[in-house]
Structure 1
Amino acid sequence: MATGVDQAVGMSLVAFSLVLFTYYSVWVIILPFVARDHFLHNYFLPREYSVILPGIAAIMVLICIGAFTAVILWKNRKPKKND
């Protein structure tokens, strides 16, 4: 059973993901159709970052997965038997 702390952490992660998804969706889907002088552009980074930031995040995730896999394989390595 999940404790109150586990539920609070889970709900905060869900809320953070929802905010991030909404922000990115507005930034990438809606903002290109809004005039450049509109005040809404003040709340978002330049459009170039909409490709750069997810790319960097994807590279970091792949590096972490690769490092985790390497550590697991290294720890589970069995020494060779000498006959």
Structure 2
Amino acid sequence: MELADRAVGLLLTLISLSIFTYFTFWVIIVPFVDSDHFVHQYFLPLEYAIIIPVFAGVALLSLLSLFVGSVMLKSRKKKNKKA
């Protein structure tokens, strides 16, 4: 099992590193490259560099809120059954 955990950890690290590298290159380097350069075909318009992280953050906060709310409701039901 330890080997599988290490493999999953390595895979998640590589995915996170590649996303971070892509996003950093997209936001910091691409705006300074000429607009007719071939590099621009590999990236979305710069507006999406703000829209995508904001949407991901809102989705993450919503899921976390739902999780915390469900845990609180379950703990409240357990307390009511004991009393």
The code of the aligned residue for 2:48 comes to Y
Q: Are 1:79 and 2:71 an aligned pair?
A: no
1:61 Cα offset (Å): 0.5
Q: Are 1:21 and 2:20 an aligned pair?
A: yes
Structure 2 runs not aligned, ≥5 long: none
Relative to the length of structure 1, the TM-score reads 0.91
Query: How far apart, CA to CA, are the structure 2 residues paired with 1:79 and 1:17?
Result: 43
The structure whose residues are more often helix, as a share, is: 2
Structure 1 runs not aligned, ≥5 long: none
1:79 Cα offset (Å): 2.2
1:34 Cα offset (Å): 0.4
Residue 53 of structure 2: aligned partner: 54
Root-mean-square deviation (Å): 1.4
The code of the aligned residue for 2:15 comes to F
SS at match of 1:64: helix
Relative to the length of structure 2, the TM-score reads 0.91
Query: How far apart, CA to CA, are the structure 2 residues paired with 1:59 and 1:32?
Result: 26
The code of the aligned residue for 1:27 comes to W
Residue 43 of structure 1: aligned partner: 42
Residue 11 of structure 1: aligned partner: 10
1:55 Cα offset (Å): 0.6
The code of the aligned residue for 2:80 comes to P
Residue 63 of structure 2: aligned partner: 64
1:63 Cα offset (Å): 0.5
Which runs of structure 1 show a deviation greater than 3 angstroms over 4 or more consecutive aligned residues? Answer: none
SS at match of 2:10: helix
